[in-house]
Structure formats: structure tokens, C-alpha cells
Chains A and B, each alone.
Chain A
Amino acid sequence: MTSQTLEKSNSIEQVRYGCAIGALHSATAIPRVVPITHCGPGCADKQFMNLSFYNGFQGGGYGGGAVVPSTNATEREVVFGGADRLRELIEATLKIIDADLYVVVTGCIADLVGDDVGSVVGEFQRRGVPIVYAETGGFRGNNFTGHELVVKSIIDQYVGEYSGPRERGTINLWSLLPVHNTFWRGDLSELKRILEGIGLKVNVLFGHESGGVAEWKEIPKAQFNLVLSPWLGLSIAQHLEKKYGQYFLHVPSIPIGAKETSAFLRKVAKFARLPKKQVETFIEQEEKRYYLYLEDFSDFYAEYWWGLPAKFVVIGDSAYNLALTRFLVNQLGLIPGKQIITENPPDDFREAIREEYRRIAEDVSTEVEFEEDSYTIHQKIRATDFGHKPPVFFGTTWERDLAKEMKGALVEVGFPASYEVVINRSYVGYRGALSLLEKIYTTIVSASA
């Protein structure tokens, strides 16, 4: 490996995110909301087949997959503009697709040609059609930034103004990126469960437990916004603060395991000024259950003969990366080997993220790196000294061969996870942590003779 190959390159080999129009999934993740894509013929399918299908085989759900309407722009729309074609498609969609809200997202073609999408969608909005738009041309950014654009569009163009009273004890949850995070459905469900356990009402907004557009209409009434991720959703919360005067609580690390989860719940409870008794009763009951199972697991963890990994590598987007690192260090007592964040977080947030890793535990500090190109990532890992035995990898399908080469176990925890079939599995909170333990150690044990 030469130093030259590790220079920062614009090239991305083995992608770890989609483009901004991949945020069509932020529409399909809301019950009965359907995106309308104004783009080339392959864009909608490409984002779906990769971000959703070959990533845990999640399925298109109600309005995703091959259901998604698309202008399938041709040379005509490039030369003469695609506004008329978009108008025609929206009109036809209203006759064919049964949805509570339509979200128009644009691709490179519309954004480069300069179609006035706002004015076309505006015509329908004035007719009272529940429809919004976001300009998500692929060159504008990735599906993380696209997600924030789509969410803000729905808030501004559909949820609308509100000046009524607030509901004490109700919160909006902004956390994992739907669909891109392979386990988002199960995870959001667990997060909702534990937050409701301490007495909150949770607008989870995405996934099967969301109340759909009716729940989105409730957003302005919430007492506050909870941003549970290193950075994603912060700009949404800031937007809501400005728009509705709603304050927010930012917790960068998604909790995994009893220690993290109980601390998280106490933090939220304090912020929400919830009565202590209910909070502590819930925590006690969850911890009791958690530690009974952990006790069962501990026999294996304490005296399994054939070697368990001591170090770990995490390659993934910042939300899961940080959450896993905290859990592996603090709950399992593993040693950080290499942590690489792959979703290209905006520069403004990077120092704060680095700081989280520096104080990952009272007695453990580690450095995190930011890199999107898998070739570079893999070279960095090959160049790392992991000591006397291979680390356990928390990564993606792209690490399958690397893990084999280095004789380590691989747990696929993020996009793309083409060797996982995921339905409602969760890796966060109290319950998810136990599933994660099962997954990690089944993977390791099943590789033995």
C-alpha cells in the first residue's frame, strides 16, 4: 500500500449510501404516503432495489418498490422541459394510486433542466390535493441530506402553520434513517416502546407503528423534539424550533443495552420533567428482565473454550457506529480496533462526533475516522495491527471478503446488508441488545468447527 492510494479521492468504490432521491424512502416509510418521482426511468428502481431490497430484503411495503410513479423522463423532457409531463403524471396518479399524501421528489434531469416543480405542485396544492415536493437531484447530496429535505417539505407544505397549545408529554422522535438503516423498523418500534414505557406519547412518524399523516399533523403539538442520532435530524429540529417555537433535546447516541438505555431514559425523563416514580418503575422492570437473560448468556461469555474476539471494527454510518461502539465497549468490554464513519456527515458536526468517541467510556478513549470509499476503508483496516487475533467486524456486505481474508467474524449491520433477511429485528434498547448479542455470538460460534 502506497501513501498515494490513501490520499483522499473523489472516487467511491462500493457505495454506502444512495443519492438525495433515495429519500423517496422517507415518504414510503410513512404509512399510506407515496412518492412521485420526476426523474429518469431507472432512478426510483435503483434506489429501491439497492437501499431496500438488497439491504435486508426489506420489501417495498405499501407504496414503494415498483409501485412508485415516475415520469421516466426521455429526451423530450430534457430538451423541452418536463413540467407538463409531471403535471400529467400527478393528475393520473391521483386517479390510480390510493394515498393520504403524495411526495414529489426530483432527480438530476429535472434539477438540471430547471423544471419549475414548485409551480406545478402548487397548482395541485391550491386544489386541496395533499401533495408536497422536494428537489432531490442526485448531485445535491446523499440520501441522508435528501431525507432532511423531504421531511422539511412535508412539514412546510403539508403540516403547515400551528399556534395552538402544546401537549405535555408528547414528543416527536427523529432518529435512524428509514430503510437505509437495515433495522430501522424494529429499532423505531423498540424506541417508541421504551419512551412510552416512561410515560411519554411518541410520534414515531415512520414505520408500521406510525399513525401516518394524522400523526404528522400532530407534530406541532408535541412538547418537544427528540433528536436521537449524532447529527441527522438536528436541522429538522432547528427548523421546527424556528417554525413552531418547539424546543428540542439532542442525544447523539442511540442506546443499546440496559446501562445505556436506562441512562438515556433518565435523561429524556428529566428533560420532559416526567414523574420519577413511573420512570424508575419501568426501568427497574426492564432491567430485571434484561439482566435475567444476560445472566443466562454470561455462562457462555465467561467460559466458552474456542475463543471470542477481544477487539472490534465498526464501519458504518455515525448513528449505528456510535451506538455499537458504546455498547461493545461499555457492556461487553471489547477493545475498539477501528471505527470508520461512512455517511459523509456535514463538516459542522464532525468535531462533536469525534468528541463522543474520545470519551466513549470513563477509561476508554478512541479516535474515529470519516471515509466513504470502501477501497480506502479496507486498506486502512488491513494496515491496522489488531494484535494476536482477528477483530469482529460490524460492517456491511462489502466487508464479507475482507473479514474472511482477515479471519474475523462479520456482523452485517448496515447498508448494504445483502446477506441479512430482516423483518422486525432490532438491535437497540433493552430488547434489541439481546438480539444483537445473539446475532454476534451465533455468527462467531457458527464459524467454529
Chain B
Amino acid sequence: MAINLKTPVVESREQRLGTVIAWDGSASKLAKESGYASGDCSSCGSKARKLCEAQGPFTQGSICSEMMVECQAGNVRDAVTVQHSPIGCGAGQVIYNSIFRNGLASRGLPVQNLHLISTNLREKDMVYGGIGKLEESVREAKRRHDPKAIFIATSCATGIIGDDVDGAASALEEELGIPVIPLHCEGFKSKHWSTGFDATQHGIVRQIVNKKPKKQKDLVNVINLWGSDVFSPMLGELGLRVNYVVDMATVAELAQLSEAVATVSHCYTLATYMAQALEQEYGVPEIKAPQPYGTIGTDAWLREVARVTHREEKAEAYIAKEHERIASKLEELRGKLKGVKGYVATGSAYAHAMVEVLRELGVEVEGTVVFHHDPVYDSLDPRQDTLSHMINHSGEVPNFSVSNRQQYQFYALLQKVKPDFIIVRHNGLAPLASRLGIPAIPLGDEHHPLGYQGLLNLGESILDVLAHRKFHQDLAAHARIPYKKSWLAESDPYILAKNKIAHQTLENP
């Protein structure tokens, strides 16, 4: 299925990929129902397959697409993002500023505040429209910061009142002489916030990427977040240079996306929309391989990068060297971690990788929760079937749940498995685990467990966090849980959804 870059509005994940945000079963059942299982997705047609979704009547506040635009477009170093919204959406400036600053520091870049400006829409703008304020804010953005590009993030409010953001952006682009890029990211438009990643990437490919690329034969795009610089040393071994995008990149670095020799990422959930679009539009190959986690994944990933960039010999030498380097430490960690039970609660493709890393470290994993599930990625290529890779190389995960950061379900999920620790990235689940005496490893640096060194890194972090248990267990003896006893006694966290579906079936057989 081709990515449609003709319109300024990105097609949502559920439209393109059949994304679900609520599902429960085993990993192998999910892989089978996702349609990759046959090894050939061509029979699935151009539109996504349909997984049965276990959406119940109770939901807790989640995350929205606009936040992902803030934390991607809003973290481009020499651009400004204008949030066309009432002031509440602008609250996100705080968290993404903190993350931006820490990311810059860890990458050795000059620390600065991010450049996000809210149009601060009020009641009368809801009646008369907010385009005038948008124009003023965009001009203000240019005057204040002289940016190389200006992104515009839409909001639920502007989506409903129907402001012509595209029209205003085109006119302003002409007036200011820099790309002015509307990013359509109304929270209500997609059930899953990862559409916000795609919205940002859609705008970048349409309006920033160099349309007449001069190929750079040693440049590899790395689509990632704020992670520390682990790709440069790895790819450097192959004689390749790294172009990190989107966070903390410059507009020039975004522009050269079309000039690279390949595109890789730390996580397919984040990256496959833009990687596929670059392949489709500019022939930049997207590396279709397992993700670079654990020795099996990293070996296969390096070999595929080497094959595509014609550097096989260098890759083999590096692989052999790294295997030897980590062997004794890995063995030592495996000894220390024997019998330890972990639980993964992260974004989708990243979780598949984390399970593999944990198991290679000798940690038992009986349960995993992902915030959504994409039955396929945009390439439709089975070599990117990260879920099946996890199952084939590390085994079944019997309790594999899709739950869009629904803390009320997390209680029962933890009770089933009773892990010694959990791995998280997004906020909201670790606080409940803590009150139950279970510590979390919050992977702020998404590259921490990546590659060969990542195995050792995560192993060390597990040992650290197991010591933390003292804090959490003490707390658990005193903490209050806001859920009713009857709900805590319920072993099936999807029971409400099942009842709802059964009820609807009765009414509409």
C-alpha cells in the first residue's frame, strides 16, 4: 500500500495498519491474527487487516497525537512549532522542554529551551475562528527566532471549528520564505497517539526533505527520540555516518533525509512511516530486519545494513569482535539474574525487542503489555514482523496484552505474573507497580538496551532496580490503591469489554 503524501492530512494508523489499542491473549495468537504469520502479506490487500478489539466502557486518560507532534516537531533545534490551540495543549511545553534539555545534554549538544508557541485560543475564537491568531503567532515565531522552518500543530478545538490551517500555512510559507508545515494531529482523529509520529513525519517528507537529493553514500538515517549516541560507534565500524532525526535534529539534517543510503531506527512503531515514505519517494532503502536488540537481533540487523550498503566484511568482523567482548560479562549477568522475573510495559515494537533482551539475559518473561498493536507496518514486509521474531527466537509470551496505558487493567496483569521488576518508558503504570512493591526501570534513554552493549546495560540496570525493591515494598505495606475491592478481585482485566461485546451481540446478532 502506497503512502499518500498528496494531501496534508496523514492517514491514521487504524486506517493504514488496522491498529488496535485493546486486545488480550498470547503473543502467538496475536501474531497469527495479525496476518504476518503466513509470511506473505500480499493476500491481505491494500488495507489493513481487522483484529478483534476488546474496548470496554471504562477508559483512563491516555496520550494524544498532538503530544507526539510536540515532542518530535517541537524538538527540532532550529525550527519553531506553533500550537494552534487553547492554552491547555501548550502545557506540554513543560515536559517536552525537560526531555529536550536532557536529550541535548546527553548527546553533547548545546542545551536550550524548546521553541513552542501557543496561539492561546479563547471562547470568541471558537465562534469567529482562530486563523488571525495563527497568522500572528507564525509571524511572531519568525520574528522572535528566525527559524529555518515553522510547524503548525492543530488541536481538537481547531479541528472542530474548521480553521483552514492548510490555506493559512501556504500563504505564510510564501510570505516568510521558509517551510510552514501544517501537522494535523487532532487528538480525537485517531484512537492511538502514534498517529502523531506519522503526522510529523508526513509533514517533514512533504515540505522539508530535499526534493533533489545529492546522494551521500555513507549517510544512514536513524529515526529515534532523545537517546544517547550509540548508533555512531556501531555504524562507524561499518564506515557509515549517522543522521539522527527527528528530535534534536536541525532542519538541514531533516532535509538530507532523502540523500541517505539507508534508513534505520530504534523502534518500528516510531519510524516505519517515514522510512517507508523515503523509500517510496526517494529510493532510500528502509532496512527490513529484526530490530537491533539482543545478539540475534543485532547480528541480523547489522548484516542487513551491511548488505544494503555493501559493507559485509566489516560487519562480520565487528559482529565477531563484539560477541567476544561481551561474552564473559553476559555470562556473569545471566548467573546473577537466574530466576528473576521481568515484565515489559512499553510501546509496541520496542516491547518485542525488550522481551528478547530480557530472555537473553536469563530473565523470565511471562507477561507483556503494549500500548497498541500494529498488525503490520507500512512496508508490509514480513522481515519487519517483530512480534513473530520475538516468538520464534525467544519463545511464547503467554500473557500478551494490548492496553493503551490503562492502569486499571495493569493491576490484574501484574497479579497474573507477579514480576520482580517491570520495564517502562511511558509514565503512568510504574506508580501502580510501585504501590504493589514492584520497582520499574524507566528507559528514558531508549538506546540504553540497544545493540550488544545494550544487553549488558540492561542487565546492570536490572541488578540496580532489584535493590530498589526495599523502597517499593515498604511503600506497598502502606499505600492506598484507588480501585474498588471488587475490581481488584477480578482476574480478567478485559471482562468489561467482553461483557459489552456479548451484550451488543445479543442486541444485534
Beta-carbon contact of A140 and B123 below 8 Å: yes
Q: Which of A92-100, A160-168, A383-391 touches B?
A: A92-100
**CB of B108 within 8 A of chain A?**
no
Tell me the bound Cα distance from A108 to B432 in angstroms: 29
Q: Which of A34-42, A306-314, A347-355, A439-447 touches B?
A: A34-42
Contact of B487 among A49, A96, A108, A415 (CB under 8 A): A96
**CB of A255 within 8 A of chain B?**
no
Contact of A93 among B58, B193, B428 (CB under 8 A): B58
Closest chain B residue to A74 by CB distance?
B188
Tell me the bound Cα distance from A20 to B123 in angstroms: 12
Beta-carbon contact of B193 and A15 below 8 Å: no
Beta-carbon contact of A75 and B189 below 8 Å: yes
Q: Mark each residue of chain B from 86 to 127: 1 if its CB lies under 8 Å from any CB of chain A, else 0.
A: 111111111101100000000000011101111111110110
Q: Which residues on the A side are within 8 Å of B86 (C-beta)?
A: 19, 108, 137-139
Contact of B59 among A4, A21, A59, A71 (CB under 8 A): A71
Interface size on A, residues (CB 8 A): 77
Q: Which of B61-69, B439-447, B463-471 touches A?
A: B61-69
Tell me the bound Cα distance from A151 to B480 in angstroms: 25
Beta-carbon contact of A139 and B122 below 8 Å: yes
Closest chain B residue to A77 by CB distance?
B188
Tell me the bound Cα distance from A271 to B17 in angstroms: 67
**CB of B157 within 8 A of chain A?**
yes
Given known A-B contacts A97-B482, A97-B483, A41 and B94 have beta carbons under 8 A apart = no
Q: How far is the CB of A49 from chain B (nearest CB, A)?
A: 5
Interface hub of B64, B111, B121, B155 (most chain A Cβ within 10 A): B64
**CB of A194 within 8 A of chain B?**
no
Q: Mark each residue of chain A from 33 to 75: 1 if its CB lies under 8 Å from any CB of chain B, else 0.
A: 0100100111111111111011100011011011111111111
Beta-carbon contact of B61 and A97 below 8 Å: no
Beta-carbon contact of B431 and A59 below 8 Å: yes
Beta-carbon contact of B59 and A89 below 8 Å: yes
Q: Mark each residue of chain B from 416 to 435: 1 if its CB lies under 8 Å from any CB of chain A, else 0.
A: 00000000000111011000
Beta-carbon contact of B125 and A40 below 8 Å: no
Q: Which residues on the A side are within 8 Å of B92 (C-beta)?
A: 46, 49-50
Q: Which of B28-36, B132-140, B373-381, B389-397 touches A?
A: B132-140
Contact of B188 among A41, A98, A140 (CB under 8 A): A41
Beta-carbon contact of B187 and A42 below 8 Å: yes
Tell me the bound Cα distance from A21 to B88 in angstroms: 8
Tell me the bound Cα distance from A54 to B85 in angstroms: 21
Q: How far is the CB of A189 from chain B (nearest CB, A)?
A: 19
Q: How far is the CB of B314 from chain A (nearest CB, A)?
A: 42
Given known A-B contacts A40-B187, A78-B160, A139-B125, A401 and B113 have beta carbons under 8 A apart = yes
Beta-carbon contact of A46 and B120 below 8 Å: no
Tell me the bound Cα distance from A107 to B487 in angstroms: 28
Closest chain A residue to B120 by CB distance?
A12
Q: Which residues on the A side are within 8 Å of B90 (C-beta)?
A: 12, 15
Q: Which residues on the B side are within 8 Å of A415 (C-beta)?
A: 94
**CB of B505 within 8 A of chain A?**
no
Beta-carbon contact of B137 and A10 below 8 Å: yes
Contact of B157 among A46, A96, A97, A138 (CB under 8 A): A138
**CB of A375 within 8 A of chain B?**
yes
Beta-carbon contact of A12 and B483 below 8 Å: no
Given known A-B contacts A41-B62, A42-B66, A53-B427, A11 and B407 have beta carbons under 8 A apart = no
Q: How far is the CB of A74 from chain B (nearest CB, A)?
A: 5
**CB of A91 within 8 A of chain B?**
yes
Beta-carbon contact of B62 and A18 below 8 Å: no
**CB of A332 within 8 A of chain B?**
no
**CB of B191 within 8 A of chain A?**
yes
Q: How far is the CB of A88 from chain B (nearest CB, A)?
A: 4
**CB of B156 within 8 A of chain A?**
yes
Tell me the bound Cα distance from A96 to B155 in angstroms: 31
Beta-carbon contact of B160 and A109 below 8 Å: yes
Beta-carbon contact of B427 and A11 below 8 Å: no
Tell me the bound Cα distance from A91 to B499 in angstroms: 14
Beta-carbon contact of A13 and B57 below 8 Å: no
Tell me the bound Cα distance from A139 to B155 in angstroms: 12
Given known A-B contacts A34-B482, A74-B191, A75-B188, A9 and B140 have beta carbons under 8 A apart = yes
Q: How far is the CB of B414 from chain A (nearest CB, A)?
A: 14
**CB of B147 within 8 A of chain A?**
no
Q: Which residues on the B side are within 8 Å of A65 (C-beta)?
A: 427-428, 431
**CB of A398 within 8 A of chain B?**
yes
Beta-carbon contact of B157 and A49 below 8 Å: no
Q: Which residues on the B side are within 8 Å of A21 (C-beta)?
A: 88
Given known A-B contacts A41-B62, A42-B63, A98-B483, A397 and B156 have beta carbons under 8 A apart = no
Interface hub of B60, B133, B484 (most chain A Cβ within 10 A): B60
Add 13 more A-B contacts to A42-B66, A71-B59, A72-B191 (CB < 8 A). A10-B119, A10-B133, A12-B87, A15-B94, A50-B93, A50-B95, A67-B60, A74-B188, A74-B191, A75-B189, A95-B496, A109-B188, A112-B160
Interface residues of B (CB under 8 A from A): 56-67, 85-95, 97-98, 111-113, 115-123, 125-126, 133, 136-137, 140-141, 143-144, 155-157, 159-161, 186-189, 191, 193, 405, 407-408, 427-429, 431-432, 480, 482-487, 496
- 30 CB contacts below 8 A, A to B, read A5-B144, A12-B117, A13-B144, A15-B87, A19-B88, A40-B64, A41-B63, A42-B63, A42-B66, A46-B89, A46-B92, A47-B88, A50-B91, A53-B427, A62-B482, A65-B428, A66-B407, A66-B429, A69-B60, A70-B59, A70-B61, A72-B191, A73-B188, A74-B191, A75-B189, A77-B188, A98-B483, A107-B156, A109-B188, A139-B86
Q: Which 10 A-B pairs have the closest CB atoms?
A: A42-B64, A19-B88, A44-B61, A66-B428, A40-B187, A138-B86, A92-B58, A138-B88, A70-B61, A50-B91
